Amino acid sequence: MGGTFDPIHNGHLVCAEEARLQFGLDEVVFVPTGQPWQKAAVSEAEDRYLITVLATASNHHFSVSRIDIDRGGPTYTVDTLRAFRAFYGERAELFFITGTDAVAEILTWKDPEAVLEEALFIAANRPSYSLSDDHQRLFRDRVSVMEIPALAISSTDIRKRVSEGRTIRYLLPREVREFITERRLYRSEPAALGGG
Ligand code: NAP
């Protein structure tokens, strides 16, 4: 399950659990992106890693990998998938779960043919979004689309809500909300030094 997770929210968790059950997966490994090279500023990798751990701790089928963070440099999914293949072995069946709009961009990623060969993709669909007919033809049997109504929740909306001082209650796990408050993430003014 790859994503920037800035922040992780209930839509991601519903999506992971739904994929696990629909595709009969043994486990779902959340892989927070290290440096998303196609993006402007994102929160610190360690904060995104910690909230992903907090959000997934109560599900024993979920785990979190630091692989993209520890590898350093820009994050390329082809490197992630090759490392997973080396770890789990040739007989393992690997799936890469992520958002449909991210999947629609695969052709702009590094080594897209290898990416699509190493794993079957599960594209989690927001209610308002779907793959174009061209993409569906192109990806054929390598990408399965999964409808996730809970993905109406989005990280972008959550960051905006925090910056405007609006509530994010019930959109993400309580532990993640508390971490965001404590670390003053997504606020325009910097955190005060020395407590308070
Ligand atoms: P993104 O552009 O932040 O997200 C695209 C859309 O997909 C957003 O609507 C996002 O919603 C949703 N999304 C992201 N991760 C999701 C997940 N795990 N489950 C459900 N929806 C998800 O995409 P990103 O997070 O940066 O990248 C997604 C994955 O693609 C990461 O693993 C990243 O490393 C990989 N990627 C690889 C390359 C490459 O190899 N060159 C390039 C780009 C991305 P939210 O904002 O609500 O999450």
Instruction: Note the pLDDT tens digit of each residue in 82-114.
Output: 999 999 999 999 999 999 999 999 999 999 999
Nearest atom within ligand 1 for CA of residue 115: 40
Would you say residue 195 has pLDDT above 70?
A: no
Contacts of 157 (CB under 8 A, 6+ apart): 171
Stretch (H or E) spanning 179: helix 174-183
Q: Is the CB of 155 under 6 A from ligand 1?
A: yes
Residue 23 to residue 3: CA distance in whole angstroms: 19
CA-closest candidate to residue 155, choices 63, 77, 70, 47: 47
pLDDT of residue 194: 38
For residue 36, how far is its CA from the centre of ligand 1 (angstroms)? 9
CB 102 within 8 A of CB 143: no
Nearest atom within ligand 1 for CA of residue 109: 41
Q: Which residue puts its alpha carbon closest to atom 3 of ligand 1?
A: 4
Between the alpha carbon of residue 66 and those of residues 45, 48, 52, 121, the distances in Å are 9, 10, 10, 20
Residue with the larger pLDDT of the pair 185 and 137: 185
Q: Is the CB of 38 under 6 A from ligand 1?
A: yes
